[in-house]
Amino acid sequence: MELYMTKPISGFSKLSKKDKIDWLASEYTTDPIQTKTILEQYWNSDEKLQKLHDEFIENTITNLYLPLGIAPNFLINEKLYAIPMAIEESSVVAAASKAAKFWGGRGGFKTTVIDTEKVGQVHFIFKGDVKKLETFINAIRPKFYEDTAVLTESMSKRGGGIKDIALRNLSEKLDNYYQLHCTFETMDAMGANFINSCLEQFAATLKREAQNYATFTETEKDLEVVMSILSNYVPNCLVRAEVSCPIEALNLSKEISPVAFAQKMVRAIEIAKVEPYRAVTHNKGIMNGIDAVIMATGNDFRAIEAGVHAYASKNGRYSSLTHAEIKNDMFRFWIELPLALGTVGGLTKLHPLVKLNLDMLGQPSAKELMQIVAVAGLAQNFAAVSSLVTTGIQKGHMKMHLMNILNQMNATHEEKDALVLHFKTNTVTHRGVVIALEALRNN
């Protein structure tokens, strides 16, 4: 049946959760009773906890669960971690765990935080003399700091605050377009609210001081602030993670020599550097690991995705985020990427599971979390590329996907046990699982 509304609903946000669900079920689903049953199944039985979840966003009707798994045995800078990962995709946690175990016996992962600078901008239009504008900005620069003193007081006590405010002339790209390019240190907070509050005050100060600047013409005084907003591109909020070992220690598979394996890995990374079609999938695999940890720790995976992919294009062409080399009989594999993360504020103090996950990680600082997340991405990439250059990606992935296929086919406990045993020695394909299950049921 085709579903459509004859008219839009008014005041939906003011309805109770029950009324929202009743309306949605009757107007937009084919089986209203089943809809209500499914939605209510995912409510938390603890009313206080459910209310907390309801208030995270607007118009909440239920909870959408993601599996939370643990990838153990991550040796990072001589410290052992069990990394929480929230993700629905088969084989991601298993692949990360396998890579962690492999490199744990070869010195583990080494990480370095290169910088933690974050960025925000005030975008404005100025029709006038550029030299006068430069003189004006230099003259009022102390005012920016004075007017945001109340906002920055707490952050400054923790060692953070405003790092720099620079005028950028982009009028060659867009007529009369300029910006205040501002950099910040936000310590263990991701800092979005702090940065945006500072930027909006910078904009107010800019407009006020322009109106009172004696040497400006009336046109110049009437500069237009278009918007004030942080940037999720943080190329100077960087972390590096790497692994290395003698080539002879790369005994990953009996089917390929360590030397051949190292060469194939380097070649695969080189391909991802020059071929965007490959680089996108290559980097998506990295983000499988990164996003899973970001989600588990209550950070904004969308902001991280946007910034990371922009960084992958920083040289004018989309390219691999990871690098590999063979030098002096040593194999080295590393990643460098921007990660603006927080371990205070937002969901980190509200969501009980997020709090627990951060506890399992040893209550990391933002810098420590950057390193853990980068390692998860590097491990995921090593697992994926090493499979690609040896057995192929499907062998391991489809075995992990087997349970999803069986659940889709409503297999019983006994059927699952029998088919897991069967596919230990047989290739998993969707068609193969269908045939095997049918044969089992017929017998």
Secondary structure of residue 340 in the 3-state scheme: coil
Q: Which two tokens stand for residue 205?
A: 């100060």
Q: Which two tokens stand for residue 226?
A: 């278009």
Taking phi first (over 0 means left), then psi (-120 to 50 degrees means alpha), and beta for anything else, what does residue 363 get?
A: left
Q: Which two tokens stand for residue 416?
A: 């699952």
Q: What angle do CA 279, 388, 409 make, to 5 degrees?
A: 100
Query: Quick count: other Cβ atoms within 10 Å of Cβ 243?
Result: 23
Q: What angle do CA 369, 373, 379 make, to 5 degrees?
A: 145
Known catalytic residue at 117? no
Secondary structure of residue 409 in the 3-state scheme: coil
Known catalytic residue at 300? yes
Known catalytic residue at 284? yes
Secondary structure of residue 74 in the 3-state scheme: strand
Q: Catalytic residue among 18, 79, 127, 284, which?
A: 284
Is residue 280 within 8 A of residue 273, CB to CB? The reply is: no
Q: Catalytic residue among 89, 129, 305, 336, which?
A: 89
Give the orientation angle of helix 149-157 with respect to helix 192-211, to 10 degrees.
150
Count of CA atoms in the C-beta half-sphere (13 A) of 391? 15
Is residue 128 within 8 A of residue 219, CB to CB? The reply is: yes
Q: Catalytic residue among 117, 185, 300, 368, which?
A: 300
Q: What is the spatial order of strands in the sheet that 177-185 belongs to?
A: 161-169, 177-185, 118-125, 224-231
The span from the first CA to the last CA of the chain, in angstroms, equals 39
Known catalytic residue at 209? no
How far CA 28 is from CA of 1, 4, 21, 233, in Å, comes to 10, 7, 10, 39
How far CA 352 is from CA of 39, 66, 217, 317, in Å, comes to 21, 15, 57, 41
Catalytic residue set: 89, 284, 300, 397
